[in-house]
Amino acid sequence: MLAGIDTHKDTLAIAVIDAAGRPLVVTDLANTEAGFDELEALLAEHHVDRIGIEGSGSYGRGAAVRLVLAGGIDVVEVPPSLTSRERSSRPGQGKTDPVDALAIARITARETTLPPVRLAVGQAADLRAMVDYRGQLVHERTGLANRTHAELHGLLPGYHATVPRLTAPTFIAAAQQLLAGDTRVRAGLTRRRLDRLAELTVEIKELTALITATMDTVDTGLTGLYGVGPVGAATILGEVADIRRYRSRHAFAAANGTAPIPASSGRTSRHRLNRAGNRTLNRVLYTMAITQIRADTEGRAYYQRKRAEGKTGREALRCLKRRLSDLIYKTMHADIAGTQITATAAIGTAAIETVDAATAQDTTNGRSQLRDRASSPHPALR
């Protein structure tokens, strides 16, 4: 059996279907811990082995975490675009929560390549929270700086010769000095904006240091890639969570928007730009590509080869982003393999030390110890 969940702030719309897509149960449950208990009982009663959730990163987060940690059920993420397409393919039924839940269940049954839900717990969740908060602060500072620049142009024409930007404490202090003693109302409001810019700059710097310190404790090869700093690596880890969610490097590229979309028709065979996917990951890849192009790197050599083939600058940049997506996919898989090898080695070392301690019983007679070790069947103790 299969199921689909349409998530909302207060309720979860549940639909359970059979292998043919016929609805067996369509109901609503509370989006609370008590509702999660009822959900688990309902799924167990109908022997559901695969369930799709729309919005597992927002209102469906609690239900997704509960089902994944409970185990025994394949929990996948269903994009809202697929739900809308499925619903529109059946005209006349309108849009309701039960209709959406049934559409999600049928998509879950039909689409075998849906990614597992991303668990918003643990270190990846902490990194994502810090990066998101830093991004909000940077966005606020950018908007406030733009508005302050506009005000300064009216108050102090030609000020930009002294204050070219407002994202550094030195220039903010210089702008405040220029407005010192100005009693105009707009000048007073601009000083308030400058004070807020100074606060945001300090907080962004502190948060960046916190992210950097956290990344120092993470064993990953991402920080060793050219163009990926601590904030970029934290963004990737927070957004991806587990690279094994993607079945191949091609699926990962499609998820981050670097894989082009086929747009062929008749005798015309072409691809077009993919504007979908995770735009946060796409922005990190863009920054990484631009950084590599500006330096003497393999990325720059690849970019120049694509330009020599006749591609435009933007087309060559997109090709480079696609290659960098593959590099990140490979690096994150290498991180997992390295972690597993380290864990296996640690278990083996602990086992050897346990056997060693058990065989070293006679601590007063050295000959007895040597005799016991020589007769030990464990290769590491011979």
Question: Is residue 115 a part of any domain in this protein?
Answer: no
Question: Is residue 227 a part of any domain in this protein?
Answer: no
Q: Rounded to the nearest 10 degrees, what angle do helices 122-155 and 230-240 cross at? A: 130
Question: Is residue 231 a part of any domain in this protein?
Answer: no
Domain termination residue (choose one: 110, 135, 159): 110
End-to-end CA distance of the chain: 56
Q: Are residues 129 and 200 in the same domain?
A: yes
Q: Are residues 375 and 240 in the same domain?
A: yes
Q: Are residues 251 and 356 in the same domain?
A: yes
Q: Are residues 334 and 357 in the same domain?
A: yes
The CA distance from 325 to 260, in Å, is 13
Q: Pull the structure tokens for residue 380.
A: 């590491």
pLDDT of res. 123? 85
CATH number for the domain including 15? 3.30.420.40
Q: Are residues 37 and 152 in the same domain?
A: no
Q: Are 50 and 73 in contact (CB under 8 A)?
A: yes
Question: Is residue 89 a part of any domain in this protein?
Answer: yes
Q: Are residues 56 and 19 in the same domain?
A: yes
Does the pLDDT at position 298 exceed 50?
Answer: yes
Using one digit for the tens of pLDDT, what is the confidence trace for 287-297?
999 999 999 99
CA quadruple 262, 265, 270, 274: dihedral, nearest 10? -30
Range of the structural domain that residue 354 is part of: 236-263+272-382
Question: Is residue 229 a part of any domain in this protein?
Answer: no
Q: Are residues 244 and 321 in the same domain?
A: yes
Q: Are residues 105 and 129 in the same domain?
A: no
pLDDT band at 381 (very low <50, low <70, confident <90, very high): very low
Q: Are residues 280 and 245 in the same domain?
A: yes
Question: Is residue 136 a part of any domain in this protein?
Answer: yes
pLDDT of res. 355? 45
The CA distance from 54 to 358, in Å, is 54
**Weakest mean pLDDT among 201-210, 226-235, 287-296, 367-376:** 367-376
Q: Are residues 105 and 64 in the same domain?
A: yes
Element holding 50 (H helix, E strand): strand 50-54
Mean per-residue pLDDT for 200-219? 95
Domain termination residue (choose one: 90, 110, 130): 110
Beta-bridge partners for 2: 17, 50
Question: Is residue 116 a part of any domain in this protein?
Answer: no
Domain termination residue (choose one: 110, 130, 148): 110
Q: Are residues 182 and 203 in the same domain?
A: yes
pLDDT band at 375 (very low <50, low <70, confident <90, very high): very low
How many separate domains does the chain show?
3
pLDDT of res. 342? 61
Using one digit for the tens of pLDDT, what is the confidence trace for 37-67?
999 999 999 999 999 999 888 889 889 989 9
Closest CA to 131 of 253, 220, 214: 214
Report strand pairing: 11-17 vs 261-262: unpaired
Using one digit for the tens of pLDDT, what is the confidence trace for 18-29?
988 899 999 999
Question: Is residue 6 a part of any domain in this protein?
Answer: yes
CA quadruple 76, 239, 221, 302: dihedral, nearest 10? 100
Mean per-residue pLDDT for 281-310? 95
pLDDT of res. 273? 84
Q: Tell me the range of 125-129, 259-263, 346-350, 360-364 where mean pLDDT is highest.
A: 125-129
Q: Are residues 42 and 172 in the same domain?
A: no
